[in-house]
Amino acid sequence: METPTWQESVFRALKAARVSVVGYVPDAGHAHLIKSAHADPEIDTVVLTTEEEGIALSAGAWLGGKRSVMLMQSSGVGNCINMLSLPVTCRMPFFTLVTMRGEWGEFNPWQVPMGTATPHVLTQAGVHVRRADHADDVAEMVGASAALAFDSHIPVAVLFSQRLIGAKVFVK
């Protein structure tokens, strides 16, 4: 039997956490999760025009009795700062998986400032931050972080390091 990729294991962890709504801004780092979510008839997928919409989507899903995850890139975290007050103030779960940019192997200097600031900004906004650097740990971390968010009614982010997801390459 073939060992699943870390991305497949993450999707299984989301399913085990009973996530049934996936909101996302299109991102190559989340391509496997997005494709898997679209292929699963038990999951509703919502393409967002901007990241802060995902926080409102997550709140609405929770109020409707569903669990959601938001998939975004670190550059989109800055768009969410004010909206993060919703789950913090209302004690609602918010669960997000963030693909990091501006780290190992980055080619785009515009990604570096927000990539550097992302963990600090999220923490200061009241989000509990976990970081996944190794493929062997990521599915367990996602499962435990989902449990923390949904059982404790708090915002939790898992950051997928750029080394884990692979550096993007600019092709001319």
pLDDT band per the 50, 70, 90 thresholds, residue 169: low
Domain 6-165: which CATH class? alpha beta
Entry pTM: 0.93
Whether the CB-CB separation of 7 and 37 falls below 8 Å is answered with no
Beta-ladder partners of 128: 156
- Only one residue has tokens 């989507």, namely 57
pLDDT digits (tens, 9 = 90+) for 119-147: 999 999 999 999 999 999 999 999 999 99
The terminus-to-terminus CA distance of the chain in angstroms comes to 39
Give the residue-averaged pLDDT of 23-48.
Answer: 96
Domain spans of the chain, in order of start: 6-165
DSSP string computed for 96-133: EEEE--SSTT---GGGHHHHHHHHHHHHHTT-EEEEE-
pLDDT digits (tens, 9 = 90+) for 68-104: 999 999 999 999 999 999 999 999 999 999 998 877 8
State the pLDDT at residue 115: 85
Whether the CB-CB separation of 93 and 69 falls below 8 Å is answered with no
